[in-house]
Amino acid sequence: MTLSKDLSSSISAKKLPIVNTQAQQSVEIATNTDDDLEIPTSCSIIRADVSLKGLTTWKVGGLAQWYLEPRTVEETQQGLAWAKQKELAITIIGAGSNLLISDRGLQGLVICTRHLRHVNTQLDSETQTIVADAGKMVASLSWQAARRGWGGMEWAAGIPGTVGGAVVMNAGAHGHSTQEILVSAEVLNLDGTISTLSAADLNYSYRTSSLQCDSRIVLSAKFQLQAAGDPEEVKARTFRDLEKRHSKQPYDRPSCGSVFRNPSPLYAAALIEDLGLKGYRIGDAEVSRLHANFIINRKDATASDIRALIYYVQRQVNARHGIELEPEVKMLGEF
């Protein structure tokens, strides 16, 4: 639906954070008291009361008070400027994996970058580099590299997220991660300017980066791969990694991927399984019987069901093992 002036409404004054689920952050901004929230004609693609349920891999969540799905950097800049002017909370989401949105939804402006195009995919055969938009699915990029015989991204074939999310979260699998192949990333600052960050600027560590502590939006990323030779061999390795992932993880039901970070040198799944929690349910949320570090939506789970199950697992593991499991999933909104 296109939002016109007659759909503009007042928003009650609350302290709301800027949240980037390409990154984990909570930055307080001034609260809105303006009763005249008009959408500029240049940003008429902003919509009101949009369901976020279908935009997360868990298939749960309430409504976005305001929603923008930009296709260009300019549309993103316009949306940010409008939200900043009206002192609204800003939440950035990508493919919706590793994300739990409250059943009550989110106040302010939600910006979804899954269709954001800045550079389109660029593959350089001489240097084996790939430049891709933030909204590009990592798995798709992995297969594009494999078909060219480029190694280094085989592990990413089963990652259910975007390039932007992978850059921010240092996504990984099978002992590899984004930081091994990232050269640089272009980011959009809240003031509308664009900066280029090197991999060193991101201070990578296990499933984290410095982008989780600020409000910048990843626009694109450059990756360095290797000329591994025969494309058939690279595709075979990619397929083996994908099959390994599918054989051990529940892809038949909605989930967010791994719920908890591994408390090195231990594994979260092993700690949970040791407690006999596979198959444990709260509402329609269940600890997967296939992989204990997955919580699945059997059919009609709510975000509150999933959150309650996450906390239950944490308490049980802490009580038995004295270990506080840290969630990978980002929880947004009021529960």
Query: Which of 114, 154, 207, 255 is an active site residue?
Result: 207
Instruction: Centre a 10 Å sphere on the Cβ of residue 137 and count the other Cβ atoms it contains.
Output: 20
CB 88 within 8 A of CB 28: no
Sign, Cα dihedral of 298, 299, 301, 302? positive
Residue 255: active-site member:
no
**Distance from C-alpha of 175 to C-alpha of 212, rounded to nearest angstrom:** 22
Q: Is 328 a catalytic residue?
A: yes
Taking the C-alpha atoms of residue 106 and residue 131, their distance in angstroms, rounded to an integer, is 32
Dihedral angle at the C-alpha atoms of 66, 68, 74, 77, nearest 10 degrees? 40
C-beta separation of 49 from 43 below 8 A:
no
- Give 133's Cβ-side CA count (13 Å radius): 18
Q: Contact, 169 vs 207, CB < 8 A? A: yes
Catalytic residue, chosen from 177, 255, 258, 288, is 258
- Catalytic residue status for 232: no
**HSE of 302 in the Cβ direction (CA atoms, 13 Å)?**
10
* CA nearest to 70, candidates 59, 62, 79, 83: 79
Catalytic residues: 207, 258, 328
